[in-house]
Amino acid sequence: MSIKSLIALGSNLGNCLKNITWAIKQLDETPNIVVTSYSSLIWNKPENELIQPDYLNGVVLIRTTLEPNQLLQRCLSIEIKAGRDRSSGEKGGSRVLDIDLIWMDGIKCCTNNLTLPHPRALNRDFVIIPSIQIFPQIKELI
């Protein structure tokens, strides 16, 4: 059964538009994932005190038959393929690509590496504003 899911994307290094466009294509070309719509992209200030470039952010709505952890692993593999390096352990730093699984219809989970719905989604304008653009009812579902 195909599940509706929401994924947030962000970039603040390199060609941000190209990075996000490429990531959306990678998601859409993944077996068992179909991108059904995507938001416009918006520029945002970093949410922390680190000195870094602004972020370009957007969201995609997909349909998938992947399990939550399978979808998370696919998102992480796309980040790595784009050049994301998590080895420093720095939280909130600049990145070529950031992909977050925000919501999967009817699924709630909390593990060491995944919490659904994303616990901070409603507090992040760079997630919620583009989400409402393509999926207005998301505020009631998270």
Residue 75, token pair as written in the block? 């998102």
Which of 54, 63, 100, 125 does the annotation list as catalytic? 100
Which of 28, 54, 74, 84 does the annotation list as catalytic? 84
Which of 85, 98, 120, 124 does the annotation list as catalytic? 98
> Is residue 125 among the annotated active site residues?
no
Q: For residues 54 and 12, what is the distance between their CA atoms, to the nearest angstrom?
A: 6
Q: Cβ distance 115 to 40 under 8 Å?
A: no
> Is residue 74 among the annotated active site residues?
no
Which of 54, 95, 120, 124 does the annotation list as catalytic? 95
> Is residue 100 among the annotated active site residues?
yes
- Rounded to the nearest angstrom, the gap between the alpha carbon of residue 129 and the centroid of all alpha carbons in its chain is 13
> Is residue 84 among the annotated active site residues?
yes
Catalytic positions: 84, 95, 98, 100
